[in-house]
Amino acid sequence: MTSQISEPYKIGDGYKAMLQFQSTNVNENQQILNDQNSKNKLTLSDKLKNWSIQGFENHNIRDELNRIMSTSEIFKSNELDITKEANRVLVLKQVLEITRGIFEKGLIQITDLRDDPSKILAFIDIVSQFDDPSLMTKLIVNNFLFGAAVFNLGTDRHHKLLPDIQSGRLLGCFAMTELGHGSNVRSLETTATYDPKTDEFIIQTPYRTSTKWWIGNAAHAQIASVFARLIMDDGKDHEVHCFLVPIRKSNGFDLLPGVKIGDVGAKFGLHGVDNGWIQFDKVRIPSSNLLDRFGSVENGVYSSPIKNPSRRFANILAQMITGRITISFGSTRTLKSGIIIATRYACKRLQFGPTSTSPEIPILSYPTHQLAIMPMIASTYAFDAIKIYLGKRFQERTDEAEIHVLASGLKAITSQFTTVSLVELRKLCGGHGYAGYSRLGKILSSIDVGRTFEGDNTLLLQQVAKDLLTQFKKEYSGNKFTGTLKYLGKNTSLLLSGMNPITTMRSDDTHLLSFQFLLDCMEFRSSKLLIQSAQTVSKNYKKTKESFTAWNQSLEILIHLAKAHTETIILQKFIEKVQIEKDLELSSILKKLCQLYGLYIIREDFEFFRNSNYLKKGKAKAIIKLIGQLCSDLSQQAMVLVKGFGNEEYMINSALGMEEGDLYENICKQVGGPFTKDNYIQSKL
C-alpha cells in the first residue's frame, strides 16, 4: 500500500511568527545525485523492503492498519502537550480503534499464535512504527500477554473469552511481576489457596513485596491473569500457576471487593501506558478460573500432566515466548526509525568544507559519521535476516527448544543494540537530536525498557548459555548437536583434539571479505567459548562444591558465550539469505552489508580473537581498513538503504527525518511562539 503522506506533525505556533525564507538549496551536484537516486534506485529500495518482510508480508493486514492509522484523527494527536491521564485515554481509544478494526473483523485472531503467527508479526511490524510506543505496548499487553495467557495456559472453557479479549470488549492485564520479584518468577509470593467447602481459590497478597507491580493496563482492565502459588487445603504448595481474577465491575471503573489498584508513578517513558500496582485481600474466584492446561483441581484433588514441578513451571513460562519474539521484531523496527531519522539528517545537514569559502558538505561525508551509522544499517539488515528465519521456525513449531534459545538470545541482542544505537544516533544529530521535534528522545525513553521486560537480558543470555552447555554435555555422551547448534559439534571436536584452527595468515581483501572467513571466525569464537565455559564452570564447582556459586562465578564467560552464539546464528542466516538471492542488484548490496556486519562483529570482539591468537596484528589492521572502506562505499547509498527499511513515511514524524522538504523548514514548523507570561516570576511583571 502507498499511503497518502499527510502533514507529519502539528505546526508549532512560533512558525507563524517567524520571518519566512525560501527553502535552502543543497549544491547542484548533490541535487542531481538525489534526483538520480530517486529515479534509478527506487526499485532497489522496494526490493530491500520486500526482502526484509519475507514470510510475514500479509499485505491485507498492513494495508488495513495503514488505512486506519493514517486517516483516523485519534492517531494524529500530539501527545507531548497533554497530561498523563489524557495521554492514557488517547492510547486507550487508539487501542480500541485497532482491536475493532483488525481483530473484530477477523483479520487476526489470538489463535494465530498457533495457526498463523506471520499475521501477528506483520501486525507488530506496522504498529511498532507509530510515534507513541505506548500503543504497541498496550496492545501487546491486552492481546498477546493477557490474551496469550488465556489461550496458551487455559483450555476450551477459557477460550470462549478470546473473541471479547481480542476485540477490546474485555480488557485484561498480565499480573506476573511483583514488587519483590521480577525475574525470579518461581519465587512469586501471591497465593491462591483452595477452599474445598466452596470449590474456590482465595487470592491473597500476603506481604508488601507480593504486590503486583508494573502491571500494564491496570487502570482499564476488568480482569487480570494473576500468577500465584497454588496451595491446596492440606497446605501443599504446587508452585506458580495462572488464574483469571476479575478486578473491576462491568463499568470498567469500580473495583471489586478485596481489590486495591493504584498508579506506580512517573516513568522514563511510555506515558500512555497505565502501569499500576495491584493487591488482593481474600478475593474469591471459582476453581474453574484456574488456567488449567498444565495443572487442574477436580473434586478437590490437584493433578497435572507434568509430574516434575520444574518441568511444569518451565512449560508454563515457555508459552510466553511470543513476548520475546514481538520485542525482537518491534525493537528492530524502532531501530529502523531512529536510523532513518539520523541518516536523512546526516545527508541534509551541511557543515564545513575544504576551505572557508568552499560549499559545505553533508556530515555523512565524514568517515567518523560513516563508521558510526553504516554498521548500524548493516546490523539492521542482519536482524531482518534472522527475523525471517525465526518467524519461519515460529510458524513451523518443529523444535520448541531451538525457538526458545534463539528467541531469548535475539531479544537480548536486538533490544540492547537498539537502545545503545539510539543514544549514539541522538548524538550524531547534535543539538537538533536533543529536541523533541527529532522524536529520538521519545523513542529512546520508551524502547530502553525492552532490555528488561519479558525477561531481563542478562538472565535470557544465561538461559542461552545453559542450553548450550546442556547440549555440549549431550554431544559427548552420544547425542549430537541439532538444528542451529550443528556447527558447534564440528568446531568443538576440532578444538578438543588440539588442532590449530588457523589455516592461513592471509590478510588480503578477497580472503577477509569471504563468507567462509567470516563464518570460520564466528564459529571458532562460539566453540572456543563453549569449551572454556564448560571448563570454567567445572573448575569453579570443584572449588566451591556448590553449583549455584560455581555458575555465578562463571557468569562473565557464560554471557560472552551466549552473545557469541546468537551473533553467529545471525551471521549464518544472513549469509544463507544472501546466497540464495537470485536478484543480482539485491544480492550485491546485501553481500556488502553482510560483509560489513561480519567484520564489525569481529572487530567488536578483537580482544577475544587476539587473546586466542586467531587474528595476528596485520590481519586485525586489515579488517579495520576494510570496515572503513565498506562504510565509505555503502554510505553513497545510505538514503536508498534506509528507504529500503520500508517504514511508512506518514509515521516517521520527525522534523529531522522527513524524506521530502527542506530540513530547516521542517524544523521551524515545530517551534513554539513567543514566551508567555507564564515563563516569568509574576511579581516581576
- Report the catalytic residues: 454
Which contacts (CB < 8 Å, 24+ apart) does range 2-5 have? 3/66, 3/67, 3/70, 3/648, 3/649, 3/650, 4/70, 4/650, 5/649, 5/650, 5/660
User: Which residues make Cβ contacts (< 8 Å) with residue 403, sequence separation at least 6?
Assistant: 321, 390, 393, 394, 397
Name the nearest CA neighbour of 606 among 496, 525, 507, 499. 525
Sign, CA torsion 572/573/576/578 = negative
In angstroms, the CA 206 to CA 376 distance is: 48
* Separation of alpha carbons 199 and 196, rounded Å: 5
Q: Are 470 and 314 in contact (CB under 8 A)?
A: no
Answer whether 460's CB lies under 8 Å from 409's CB. yes
12 is in an annotated binding site: no
- 275, 263 in Cβ contact below 8 A? yes
DSSP label at residue 108: S
Distance from C-alpha of 230 to C-alpha of 316, rounded to nearest angstrom: 13
> Residue 561, CB half-sphere, CA atoms under 13 Å: how many?
28
Of 605, 602, 596, the C-alpha closest to 627 is 596
CB 561 within 8 A of CB 530: yes
Backbone φ and ψ for 298, nearest 5 degrees, come out as -125, 130
615-624 long-range contacts (CB < 8 A, ≥24 apart) are 615/521, 616/505, 616/507, 618/505, 618/507, 619/505, 619/506, 619/507, 619/512, 621/507, 622/507, 622/508, 622/509, 622/512, 623/512, 623/599
**Residue partners of 390: CB distance under 8 A and separation at least 6:** 325, 328, 403, 406, 407, 410
Question: Which three-class secondary structure string do you get for 336-389?
Answer: HHHHHHHHHHHHHCECCCCCCCCCCCEHHHCHHHHHHHHHHHHHHHHHHHHHHH
Which residues have C-beta within 8 Å of that of residue 269, sequence separation ≥ 6? Answer: 133, 442, 444, 445, 446, 447, 448, 449
d(CA 631, CA 624): 11
Q: Please state the separation of Cα 453 from the chain's center in Å.
A: 10
Beta strand 223-231 with 191-195 is parallel
Cα–Cα distance measured from residue 579 to residue 515, given in angstroms and rounded to the nearest whole number: 10
C-alpha cell of 453?
Answer: 521486560
Ligand-binding site membership of 452 (annotated): no
| Per-residue burial over 326-359, b = 16 or more CB atoms within 10 Å of its CB, e = otherwise | bbbbbbbbbbbbbbbbbbbbbbbbbeeeeeeeee
Question: What is the rounded distance in angstroms from the CA atom of residue 491 to the CA atom of residue 249?
Answer: 60
**Helix or strand holding residue 284 (H, E):** strand 283-286
* Separation CA 630–CA 633 (nearest Å): 5
d(CA 623, CA 216): 46
- Where helices occur in 243-366 by DSSP H, the ranges are 309-318, 321-348
Q: Which helix (H) or strand (E) holds 45?
A: helix 42-52
Q: Which three cell numbers stand for residue 328?
A: 525482537
Binding-site annotation, residues: 177, 216
Question: Which residues are part of a known binding site for FAD?
Answer: 177, 216
